[in-house]
Structure 1
Amino acid sequence: MHSTSIIDKSVKIPHNTTIGPYSIIESDVSLGEGVKIASNVLIKSGTIIGNNSEFFSGAIIGEKPQDLKYNNEKTTVEIGDNSIIREYVTIHKGTKDRKITKIGSNCLLMAYSHVAHDTFLGDDVILSNNVQVGGHVTIENNVIIGGATPIHQFCKIGEYAFVGGGYRVVQDVPPYIKAMGEPLKYFGINSVGLKRNSFSEDIISIIKKAYRVIYRSEHNILQAIKILDENSNSKLEVNKIINFIKNSNRGII
């Protein structure tokens, strides 16, 4: 713990936590074991941090949301275990809607990325440099977002999806797919990501066939979902696709 850091007396610092020069930790902050905090990091009141997460210089965690309806309600940011928060990342606390902004475990938020209020990131999510995530967004597990991508508030991105860098996300992105282009479009399934995460060739083939019905047939979305519903044979991945689309509030790309 560097002598120039400022830490509220109420904060319990585990013995294996490191805190660099000029970092500030306010009251009502919970730090897990093995947390590494570099220089000039600001961790605001109400933040909860899991074990072995690392924060690089200039990161600001738990600042008030940029929402004019926010009225100083008691809300929080929660970050899981083993996540990496790079330089100048900003993560804002929740509003009275969800009351929490949540980052899962094993996430990597690269430099200058922003996560707005009430957003949920699952585990193993990667936000590349300068990704800007609006409020109330949900990003499921194992998603990768390319650099300089803005994500509109209330959007949802399904598990194991890949979004190419620099493209605007203004509708929901279903699980297991690649999304690219302006406007954002379906670009096939995320075969590389699925193989890296030990999906079998049979399951990848089943996912690919499901998306052919959705995106590469003469059927509209409602017709495609009905066909998949009738022929899903209880395959977990297909059921996840069906449920994701049925529960989409903004429509899918």
Structure 2
Amino acid sequence: MFDSGKFVSVGDTNLFVSEAGNPKGRVIVLLHGGLQSRLDFIPLAKHLSEDYRLIAIDTRGHGRSGIGTAPLTYRQLQDDFTVVLTTMGLQKSGVIGHSDGGIVALRLAASCAVQPEFVIAVGAHWVLPENDPTRQIYQTITLEKWRAMFGNQISIYNTENPDPDFGKLFTAATRMWLDCDENSYPGASVKNIRCPLLVVHGDEDMLVSRQQAFDLTEQVKGARLLNLPFAKHTLLEDMPESVFPFLQDFITHVTT
């Protein structure tokens, strides 16, 4: 799954886009987390593939996508995905975004550059205040620690990427996580979101607090919150069979 695909130009680089699932089904765009790739959606995609047409995009610098010359920011990723979705005629698709992908999904919906049918944001910050404990994690994580935890992912990246330089990507990603200007987290702009929003949070997520997820839900009119007990930041990979029924219920309710 997600082995084949095509490249879409976003100006200074090309993004890899892969498709799976039911070609006649409702379209769902999958946006993965930081330093990951489209492949991390496979556990969930196996549950979605019977009913939905799935479009998985590798973020610039990740998976098979080139990193380009522009700085890695959430605004840049928003612009990249806007180009891809517009080029493919998918501006009104549903979006499931995990972590960084969820942050960008929130920015996309708030920008009105595209009009998602719905957004499911999983383990995603909408703001990251200076006193948020997650900043300490981002400030102290090192390439060596990441390599020790996710060596297999890095090996896949080195095999897939057209110009692999994980050290460069790691530095760019951690800088993006710590940014706090208008090009970073969506912040108050989430109030502009008009499409149905489901905020999904794992109660044992070490990066995104329960309060963060609750506050995001309160910011967006009509948003729903799914807080899963005993679930971690990687809940889509760890327990897709438990998450899927809730996602399907949400999608069914907001698209019928």
TM over 0.5: no
Task: State TM-score, norm by structure 2.
Answer: 0.26
Structure with higher strand content: 1
RCO higher in structure (CA 8 A, sep ≥6): 2
Greater gyration radius: 1
